[in-house]
Chain A
Amino acid sequence: MMKSKTPKLNTFSKNFKVLRLVFRFCPQLLWLAVIYIICSVVASILKVYLISEAISYVLSGGSFIGLITKVLYILIAEVICLFGNVLYEDFFEPRYRNIYVKKIQTHLFKKVKEIDMLEYDNPVFYNKFSRALRDSQWRGFRVYRTIIDFIKSVCISLALGTYVIISDPVLIIVILVSSIVGILAINEVHKLWYRLFKETELEHRFSWYINRTFYNVRYAAELKTTTVSDLLIDKYKYSVNSLEKKTFNINKKMIPHQVVFNLFDRLLAQGGTYLYLGIRLFKGLIEVSEFSSSINATMSFYNNFMAAMTTITTLKEHARYIDDFLWVMDYKPKLEKNEGFEIDEFKQIKIENINFKYHESKDYVINNLSFELNIGDKIAIVGHNGSGKTTLIKLILKFYELQSGNIYINDINYNDVNPFSLRRHMAVVFQDYQIYAVSIAENILMHKVRNKDDEEKVYDALDKVGLLEKVKSLKQGIYTEMTREFDTSGEAFSGGERQRIVVARVFATNADLYILDEPTASLDPLAEEKINKLILNTAVDKTIIIIAHRLSTVVDTDKIYLMKQGTFTEIGTHQELLELNGDYALMFNTQKQLYESNE
């Protein structure tokens, strides 16, 4: 994790780094912003100029027609600038904001694919990452906006400042001195706000969590049938109280700084200007007309100057989030790189003495494991929860880096293999599979239907898993949406049907190696038997790894590997393992007992 060092310098460089990114995605914004700033500066100068011209003209006793012509010229120039401003603010900027969000999303979502799998297993990483991902989509444009505002106010203050200096240099000193002291005071207040934000982050997140829980349908049944709603409300109240206490304590500390700020802001800056100009007026050094236009110019200058200073605070606020933003953007994967040997075909996977453990844990999940898988093999890996079956699969997919040992595909070391090319030869049904809000065909192909061949593949796969009839009976057939999220004519599938769709995915690929991580967990018995047979019979020429803890699934496989504490302890056919009378036999008999009556 990054730590902020010298905050001021970092704040700017961080913000500008993000600004560069915005310009990279939307280069046109650069010159549009320049024109916008020029228009704004000219417009605000003209405004001040118009006022002083008009006042002096009227007070010097000019004619009404003369006034109108004088005002008109300036006004026309101002309107032209105004038109530029409106065009930018209402047309270009919101349009490019949309474009930017589109481009950054595409960029970030592509990035998601490249993040190493191991990171996702670390909840701290995952929480930070998902927060950063959500924030990053609009942070960039906000930074852009703030910086443009900052530059705009600085330019305007410079221009107005020059105007004020020309008419009276002392005035500038009065304003600068009082505003600097004021800014120092207000900076302390901002620091306290930041502290408060940091200290109460947990409470805020907890409120969101409670809100989420109560409005989510997943929890509705339990909230209604148990006392958990009272428990959560109690916790919420507790968290609210602690938030109030912390807020009150820090708010108290802000008040003295605020007093200093207000005194300098109002009494010295504003009152001082009035007094100074009043004295000059009385001494006959300036005319009434100059008096009122000077007040107007000076106050405009002061307001812009303060606005520029406040944007610095906003920039600092951005900087807090930019760390995470840049962290996501600059993330360099260890494994998920599109480089290395391309794999043309699958012949063999050889695993030699591998060891693997997760992040902080002491225990190895995979312990000194070796085995060989050749083309055409149909094997099963069985074992208890937590014995390392799923981890092994993830290692075969090159999701994780090994602590020691080697995996070879066709005698090429995994370290040198392009992971994406490798995975194209494998079709996997994961335990936590997802169904996407796209059409049935797309959910099976996992890409668009590109041609007739693709359609054929979908029909074929659906036929194999026994869903063809149902899908054909739907009005839009394989093009029916699989959820009702975006299409009310979408079809809601039951749990078992959804799982069959996922199995159909495997049949629709050209992969040589099928990996099925408990594919039948939520299927009903008849369907389970059918799918098992199907996978083993249909895919005669394929290499298959089935993971199961329900042993009836695997009795027909060529070879069964029993996994215990991260390594294979028993290997053989069903019959051989039963005869061995070891852990496998024990597992099998326990499951068998479940089907035997006590009586």
Chain B
Amino acid sequence: MKEIKNIFSSILCVIKIKPSYLVVKILTIITSVISSLIPVFVVNEIVNIYYEDKNIGRIAILIGICFIILAFIKLCDFIIELYDAHVRRIFVAEESIIFYKKLSSLDYELHESPIFLNDYTRALEESVDHIFSTCNGTFNVLKILITSIGMFSIIATMHYSVIIVAVLLAIIYTILKVLMAKVQFKASTQQRPFRRMTRYNERSFTLKESMSELKTTEIGDLLLEKNEIAHNNIIKVFDKYIFPKTILSFICNLLLTLLYPLIICVVAYFTIDNLTEEAVAWFASMTVAATTLSTLITQLARAFGEVGQSMVEVSVAFDLLKMEGTIESKKGIDVNEFDSLDVENISFSYKGDINQLENISMHIKKGQKVAIVGHNGAGKTTLVKLLLRLYDVKNGAILYNNTNYKDINVESLRTEVGAVFQNVEVYAVSIAENVLLRTPKSEEDFDLINKALKFSGLDEYVEKLPNGINTIVTKEFDKDGVVLSGGNNQRLAIARGYALNYNLFILDEPSSALDPLAEAKVYNNMLALGRDKTIIFISHRLTTTVNADYIYLFEHGKIIEQGTHLELMKLDGKYKEMFTSQSKKYLGGDYDEK
């Protein structure tokens, strides 16, 4: 039932974007009916005229007219096809944008859930195509059905018993095809995990980053071996279902082959003792009709199969459209300029997991430079996500200027609070757009971009490029594009953070690929941003902490020490241990003695 609903939803989806699609589809049905009926009609007429008066002029005109119509209709078909392709492209483009926007409006949690990653991502990438295919396939089935009915009615005027044979065969054929599709579905379901494995291997072998290891270790052989096992399993599943599949397919083909002889035999049975001229005429046109009929039945089964498949797959797409984000719904009050941020005793865990963060409290005032340090996996990155409200806290509250995060419009929040993430992503657009994250329009925009590049230290590199800040990043779409090194990627991300002009600016280990000089430069620039900007540095290196106003040390999701650098050193705890281990080789000996 749900599938039937999906069909209607798909059709509605397409028609909403391109209403003319409906007209085009009705036209295709008409042309299809006419073009398959004409040859049958002509043969019938020729034989009729033969028995009437053998007038060559008459049939010449008849054939001329009919086939000019046919040629014209075929041309219309071609133009309709082109238009159809156009509709498809426009629909895919516009519907994709709807999906993209929908996706952005869903909670971040969704992206990280394994169910979404495994089952949805792949289906979603093709979901818009599936919607169109479902809609188009339905019309296709309709078209073939109506054409067949037309064909049947012509035959019916000649002999009703043929209809019974043909319809009976068509029904059996369709049932068999459905059975085949079910077997096929079972087989592909069992093959799916192995196919996924081969795709993974393909990825490993095409990934640039894995080349060095492929060449220096035996990992390639190991992956190849696993790949072959996966393929063997695919073949094993294939073999398991091949017997019923082949038998069913044989019966289907047998029915198609029998169609014509059967029709002849049925007709012969009724007419053989009583050969009238009329019977001869339609016997002749039956030759053509039977061929068309068998083609139509084959087409019908295929069309059913296609719709059936996309009908199932399209459900993922509609599931997504129905989802609602609680955080990203963008309801709530807009915020004013940043003044204070208070984290009040929050706890957080990912679905079903143990607590990632427990009883965290933090207080950040405007202008402060705060450092959050701790081991890998101490929960620092999770905190960033909470501060950006990609997730909501489970217990406790985060207050922005004393307003609870949960009452704030996220969009407005994120113009004030922003982050440079640990894993930097760049986009295949120009450097300027990569910094600004929108198309620069005014002189001011360009000023800002240049300032931002200078801030992160990328300016020298960009100045050397022939196209400057208009150079496209990556060579994927522009052979004059640039591929940035890891360090330059991070500089670009830092420039981005600067240009977006956040008042509370979070840096999640932004300098891991920078060399120390560059790192120092970036940090000094940060600190020089002035009293207005509030900055949270997240790091497991303690270079940011010395000059920070306040330090929080995280361990296992808890704050275990907090205070200024001097306070924490005096505390003689975990912070001091960490700091000494990192700095002793620079400062020599114990810090206290210095």
Contact = CB atoms under 8 A, between A and B. Distances in A.
User: Are A and B physically bound partners?
Assistant: yes
A594 to B, nearest CB: 4
A221 B385 contact: yes
Contact of B475 (A108, A127, A399): A127
A447 B516 contact: no
Contacts of A527: 375-376
Contacts of A61: 272, 275
B225 interface: yes
B5 interface: no
A552 B585 contact: yes
B546 A106 contact: no
B100 A214 contact: yes
A295 B287 contact: yes
B218 interface: yes
Contact of B376 (A127, A270, A495): A495
B257 A78 contact: yes
Interface in B56-98: 56, 59-60, 63-64, 66-68, 70-72, 74-75, 78-79, 82, 85-86, 89-90, 93, 96-97
Given A267-B67, A295-B43, A595-B587, A384 B515 contact: yes
B376 A497 contact: yes
Given A105-B227, A213-B427, A447-B222, A71 B280 contact: no
A512 interface: no
B66 A271 contact: yes
A109 B205 contact: yes
Contacts of A99: 235
Contacts of A224: 104, 108, 328, 390, 414
A522 to B, nearest CB: 6
Contacts of B238: 94-95, 98
A227 B437 contact: yes
Contact of B257 (A82, A95, A259, A551): A82
Interface string A105-121: 11011101100010010
Nearest to B239: A95
Given A295-B288, A595-B543, A233 B67 contact: no
Contact of A236 (B93, B216, B226, B577): B93
Interface residues of A, number: 171
Residue among A124, A214, A431, A438 having the largest count of chain B Cβ atoms under 10 Å: A214
A354 to B, nearest CB: 20
A595 B517 CA distance: 13
A126 interface: yes
B234 A98 contact: yes
Interface in A48-70: 50-51, 54-55, 58-59, 61-64, 67-68
Given A292-B283, A292-B284, A594-B543, A98 B220 contact: no
Interface string A451-494: 00000000000000000000000000000000011101000001
Contacts of B565: 597
Nearest to B116: A217
Contacts of B246: 86-87, 90-91
B215 A336 contact: yes
A258 interface: yes
A126 B114 CA distance: 31
A278 interface: yes
B224 interface: yes
Nearest to B248: A90
Interface string B262-276: 001101110110010
A59 B202 CA distance: 63
A188 to B, nearest CB: 13
B428 interface: yes
Contacts of A133: 202, 205-206
A235 B429 contact: yes
B343 interface: no
B377 interface: yes
**Interface bin, chain B:** 35 or more
Interface stretch (B191-199, B297-305, B399-407): B191-199
Contacts of B231: 98, 101-102, 105
A165 interface: no
Interface stretch (A150-158, A203-211, A315-323, A371-379): A203-211
A96 B429 CA distance: 44
A147 to B, nearest CB: 23
- Residue in A90, A129, A437 with the greatest tally of chain B CB atoms within 10 Å: A90
Contact of B125 (A211, A237, A505, A551): A211
Most A CB contacts (10 A, CB to CB) among B70, B206, B221, B476 go to: B206
A99 B228 CA distance: 10
Nearest to B54: A282
B427 A232 contact: yes
B219 A55 contact: no
B428 A291 contact: no
Contact of A423 (B114, B215, B583): B215
Contacts of A86: 246, 249-250, 253
B215 A113 contact: yes
B175 interface: no
A599 B239 CA distance: 76
Given A222-B421, A266-B74, A274-B63, A288 B280 contact: yes
B39 interface: yes
Contact of B206 (A59, A134, A215, A495): A134
A522 B512 contact: yes
Given A68-B265, A217-B111, A595-B543, A385 B485 contact: yes
B249 A226 contact: no
B64 A244 contact: no
A336 B215 CA distance: 9
Interface in A263-303: 263, 265-267, 270-271, 274-275, 278-279, 281-282, 288, 291-293, 295-296, 299
Contacts of A223: 103-104
A71 B264 contact: yes
B93 A237 contact: yes
Interface string B369-412: 00000111100000001001010000000000000000000000
A348 B434 CA distance: 47
A7 interface: no
B414 A82 contact: no
A594 B523 contact: yes
A598 B549 CA distance: 12
Interface string B186-218: 000000010011101110111111111111111
B349 interface: no
Contacts of A447: 218-219, 221-222
Nearest to B103: A214
A106 B228 contact: yes
A2 interface: no
A341 interface: no
Interface string B501-514: 00000000000111
A496 B512 contact: no
A523 B582 CA distance: 12
A522 B376 contact: yes
Given A91-B246, A278-B46, A219 B206 contact: no
B117 interface: yes
Nearest to B478: A202
A526 B577 contact: yes
Nearest to A554: B585
Contacts of B587: 592, 595-596
Contact of B227 (A63, A75, A109, A262): A109
A486 B377 contact: no
A430 B257 contact: no
5 closest Cβ contacts across the A-B interface? A271-B67, A496-B376, A594-B543, A102-B231, A292-B284
20 contacts: A51-B264, A71-B261, A86-B249, A102-B232, A133-B205, A234-B439, A237-B93, A243-B89, A265-B74, A266-B67, A288-B50, A288-B280, A295-B288, A385-B487, A394-B212, A434-B213, A447-B221, A495-B376, A522-B376, A552-B582
Given A75-B261, A271-B64, A598-B547, 10 more contacts: A71-B265, A86-B246, A105-B202, A105-B227, A109-B220, A206-B428, A231-B439, A278-B50, A292-B285, A524-B375
